Structure 1
Amino acid sequence: MEDFNHHLSALSASLQSIPTSDSFRFHYNLPEFRHLIDQLTQKSQSMLNQIGSSDHIWGHNSSFPVDVDDGYEWMVNANDDVLELVDEVVDEFHRVLMEQDMEKGEDGFFKIKKERKGLILWGDDHGNETKKKVSFHVHTLRKPQYHYNLAVDNSNQPFEHVWLEKEKTEDGERFIHPLEYYSVLDFVDKNSIESLVPVKPPPLEFTPFKLVEDVKGLKELAAKLSLVDEFAVDLEHNQYRSFQGLTCLMQISTRTEDFIVDTLKLRDHVGKHLRDVFMDPTKKKVLHGADRDIVWLQRDFGIYICNMFDTGQASRVLKMERYSLQHLLQHFCGVTANKEYQNADWRARPLPDVMIKYGREDTHYLLYIYDLMRIKLFELSKESESPDDPLLEVYQRSYNVCMQLYEKDLLTENSFLNIKGLRGAGFNGQQLAVVSGLYEWRDVLARAEDESTGYILPNKVILLIAKHMPVTASNLRRLIAERSRLPYVERNHDIVVNIVRHSMGKAAAFEEAALRLKEEHAAFVEAAALRLKEEHAASVSNVASVEDGTEAPQSPSLSLKDECAANGSIGIENATCVNISEKSLFSSDPNSSAVKVA
């Protein structure tokens, strides 16, 4: 920097101002002037390269462009990144202050506010106090993949279940789940239910709790689980900032204790110490809505569950009003769960007390709910004349959930066709080629950076870019200006534009697929419209039958969502279908914009 100042001072001393245009070209022919300008150019570009390639600042490599004409745009983007980073840090700073219940004093120092306790509240525009919104993504968090050196395999190859045995099949090989060695009947415990007396757990604040953050604590947890016959399990997960997702926490409750395992810090040790106890067929594992938990355990820790009772499946067999854990907690335990942290950013460390409390509640009451549900299922089986055993049905469903095996998302040449909304977009071959190109770029980058595809480039933005096909960086910026922050797109404007240009030249190869998508969409709309007409006719028939006292057969009900899709309408608040098509399906008025309320 001192050299730069020296050269700048020397140049400024010799000239009142740097000449421009023709005057500059004239002076540039003078060796002394040209030498000073070249030195300034080299020094400036060197410093800009150093700034741009500072990964600890930007989190990515963004060297100053070789083409000086692109330098202005680079500087604008760099300044925007700096200002945005400052904004994020300031926002996070204020968030921490609010969580710690602090305020700025007259002396400029921040102090704890003594007059306010408990949950921090924010004021709205009208001066009313409202609960603080829980963010699902904290921008300023350092990725745990870097912080804990987490090893992930995002290669475009099938997931290897290295802890499972394989057997030969006609199609090659398959993995053998350990649960295959057991029958569902091995886990049904009818005899113990008749004498079962449910014991409600003590309040959360009176229950021993352990936050497991080291291997020693993990070993102690494994030893305690080896001594019990049953335990409840839940996981907290983050999908937004990794390609395959990360299990951030594991909550475990026995009849007497609660545990939370920091599975980010202990990722490499969880499987080693807990795998056997989860696979032990003599120990009941109680989970709620375990479909995703099962595959997350396999993916991150090589853990496979044998002998599970899923309270989510039990709530369905019992035909309860709602199937959520929140409802079960209220229904069976009288506990109102705070579900605003359900989608919180569970990568945060250290964990705030309120998030620890939320995590504990997910398993603390689950064994008690398990007892009550078993009793209800057993009583239902005795009262029912049906040959189907409700208790056995729950265990069969739970067994099937456990039998799932994790599969990695793989990129194929037709993967882009699965983008939601593509079929109804009406794209031509050129636009479809752009979708394919952007989809592949996004997938490759997401795997390399260990980011979710939605964070790199959301599906809606892919469709937006493909629709308008911007061929310059400025057009692309204007197109996505109102979108939420897209850091990878912002850093790679030129690459995205080049993909658009290159893909547009491949239109011919995508014309057939574009035509097929349009035909499929037309067939779907036609089928939905036909069903809608049939239901309308049936409803008219029902009205006529009621009037003359006869009964009319009931036709299958078409969901509001299908109805709206069929006639080109949009749904509002789950109960209203607003016709936005050129002509209402049943209206004689072609300009009708009638609102149908379901």
Structure 2
Amino acid sequence: MLKRKEEDGFEVGEGRKKNYYAKEKKMMAFHLASIPKPQDEFNIFVNNSNQPFEHVWLQRTDDGTRPVHPLENLSGSDFVDKNVGSIEPVKSLPLEKSPFKLVEEVRELKHLAAKLRSVDEFAVDLEHNQYRSFQGLTCLMQISTRTEDYVIDTLKLRVHIGPYLRDVFKDPSKRKVKSLYFCLSFTCICVTRMQIGGSWPLPDDMLKYAREDTHYLLYMYDLMRRRLFSASIGSKEGNDLLLEVYRHSYDVCLQLYEKELLTNMSYLYIYGVQEANFSSHQLSIVAGLCEWRDTVARAEDESTGYILPNKTILEIARQMPVTVSKLRRLVKSKHPYVEVNLDSVVDIIKSSIEWRCFRICSFLTTAGEAKK
């Protein structure tokens, strides 16, 4: 009989690995245009203009040049536990014995807000998807206290999330534990939801998976604080590992959301363009296509990757198709917005080439006149 051993969740034997974590699941093609968008179902309108995001709930500097994050009045050391050595870890209750609430109504959200006001700490996580919207949609918010788990439908309750939960998240005396980072202070979030697997409501197994993202975090938080504290005491270098983690968390929390903006140089930063060794004509095509897809994505509230992926942009630039038939053969009907705009895309390719030629000729003419 062959010996078996486990490696990182895998059972090894007879030259094969069995993944204990893998589950049979129905694969969904999220790129299909037939899948309804939650923005349409819930009449969500967003500002996708090519302008910086406005943090309307934050104060601004005296000169008005930037928003002031509330954490700027504090430091990472303000959140370090004073008596961490005496803290006893509180083990999480078994999932099946913990009260659970799927929050879908305003009255349920109001109850949750009251519950969070009565506790000093809670765990939080978000499920996010940005493939079918320009700025992205947060699918769910999960929150766990020491005794209860909540999963919030943040699309259905979109306009109510801020009014009911803003003050709780702004309160620096309440610690918010997110993933393995100790984001224990202010968490600036913009919340929505997207359908998972193309269907809603979520089946029980997906709700269980969502709960598990936060259910054990507070217990992990207890354990890691104790271990970091103990490791610091035994450190020959005198490193305060717990303080280091809090400072890192402080830096993470200081980050503010920034909207993706299109500039004249944006096309130079798409993945793969630097290694493509393109000619000036091909780079001009890349720039033209990037500008077109950005305009369409903002107007239709789609991601730029859904409108026209980087890989396809590079391939179009590489082949430079100047007829509709050649472009159609290249994209192979994989991209709905390109398919219905084949003429426009071909015009962009042609004009990009012509404009580049015009600029080169203008430069040569100007240079020649300067020499005279």
Same-fold status (TM-score > 0.5): yes
Change (3 A) 1:494 1:479: same
Q: Is residue 490 from structure 1 mapped to residue 362 from structure 2 by the alignment?
A: no
Measured in 2, the distance between the counterparts of 1:404 and 1:248 equals 21
| Alignment partner, residue 563 of structure 1 | none
Amino acid at match of 2:345: V
1:250 lines up with 2:101 in the alignment: no
**Matched residue type, 2:171:** D
Pair 1:468–1:354, CA change in 2 (3 A): same
Distance 1:300 1:453 in 2: 20
Cα distance in 1 between the residues matched to 2:293 and 2:287: 10
1:177 to 2:69 alignment: yes
1:459 paired residue among 310, 328, 339: 310
Aligned-partner Cα distance in 2 for 1:469–1:217: 56
Of residues 175, 186, 189 in structure 1, which corresponds to 2:78? Answer: 186
Partner of 1:586: none
- Partner Cα separation in structure 2 for residue 283 and residue 144 of structure 1: 32
User: Where in structure 2 are the equivalents of 1:72-151 lying within 5 Å?
Assistant: 131-135=24-28, 137=30, 139=32, 140-151=34-45
Q: Does 1:396 align with 2:247?
A: yes
Instruction: Name the CA distance, whole Å, in 2 between partners of 1:412 and 1:366.
Output: 41
> Structure 2: how far apart are the matches of 1:138 and 1:345?
13
Determine the structure 2 residue equivalent to 1:330.
none
Aligned letter for 1:437?
G
2-structure distance, mates of 1:199, 1:468 = 61
In 2, the alpha carbon distance for the partners of 1:418 and 1:291 equals 32
> What code does the residue aligned with 1:188 have?
V
Q: Which residue of structure 1 aligns with residue 15 of structure 2? A: none
| Residue 505 in structure 1 maps to residue 354 in structure 2 | yes
Correspondence for 1:168 among 62, 77, 80: 62
Q: How many residues align?
A: 336
- Give the AA of the match of 1:492: N
Deviation (angstroms), 1:389: 0.5
- The percent identity for this pair of structures is 59
Give the drift of 1:291: 11
- Counterpart residue number, 1:381: 232
Structure 1 residue corresponding to 2:170, chosen from 260, 279, 293 = 279
Q: CA deviation at 1:507?
A: 1.8
CA contact (8 A) 1:251 1:360 kept: yes
> Distance between the aligned counterparts of 1:510 and 1:442, measured in 2?
23
User: What secondary structure sits across from 1:220 in the alignment?
Assistant: helix
Maintained 8 Å contact 2:182/2:246: no
Contact 1:235/1:248, CA 8 A, preserved across alignment: yes
Match of 1:239 among 130, 142, 149: 130
Higher relative contact order (CA 8 A, sep 6+): 2
Cα displacement string for residues 32-81 of structure 1 (whole angstroms, at most 9, x for unaligned residues): xxxxxxxxxxxxxxxxxxxxxxxxxxxxxxxxxxxxxxxxxxxxxxxxxx
Contact 1:209–1:259 (CA under 8 A) maintained in structure 2: yes
- Give the counterpart of 1:211 among 89, 99, 102: 102
| Cα separation, partners in 2 of 1:378 and 1:207, compared to 1, 3 Å | same
Per-residue CA deviation, residues 374-426 of structure 1 (Å, 9 max, x unaligned), is 00001011101223200000100000000001111111111111111111211
Contact preservation (8 Å) 1:428, 1:511: no
Query: Residues 429 and 366 (structure 1 numbering): CA distance in 2 closer, same or farther, change over 3 Å?
Result: same
- Residues 429 and 510 of structure 1 are in contact (CA less than 8 Å); yes or no, is this contact kept in structure 2? no
SS in 1 for 2:65: strand
Q: Which runs of 5+ in 1 are unaligned?
A: 1-129, 302-342, 513-598
Which has more radius of gyration?
Answer: 1
CA distance in 2, matches of 1:299, 1:202: 30
Q: Do 1:249 and 1:346's aligned partners in 2 also have CA atoms closer than 8 Å?
A: no
Distance 1:270 1:383 in 2: 44
**Separation (CA, whole Å) in 1 of partners of 2:90 and 2:355:** 67
Query: Normalized per residue, which structure has more helix?
Result: 1
The 1-side partners of 2:302 and 2:182 are apart by 23
Secondary structure of 1:247's counterpart equals: strand
**Partner residue of 2:16?**
none
Paired residues of 2:71 and 2:186 also in contact (CA < 8 A): no
Structure 1 CA distance, aligned partners of 2:45 and 2:211? 28
- The separation in 1 between residues aligned to 2:292 and 2:75, in whole angstroms, is 46
- Gaps spanning 5+ residues in structure 2: where? 1-22, 362-372
Displacement of 1:296 in angstroms is 9.1
1:186 counterpart letter in structure 2: D
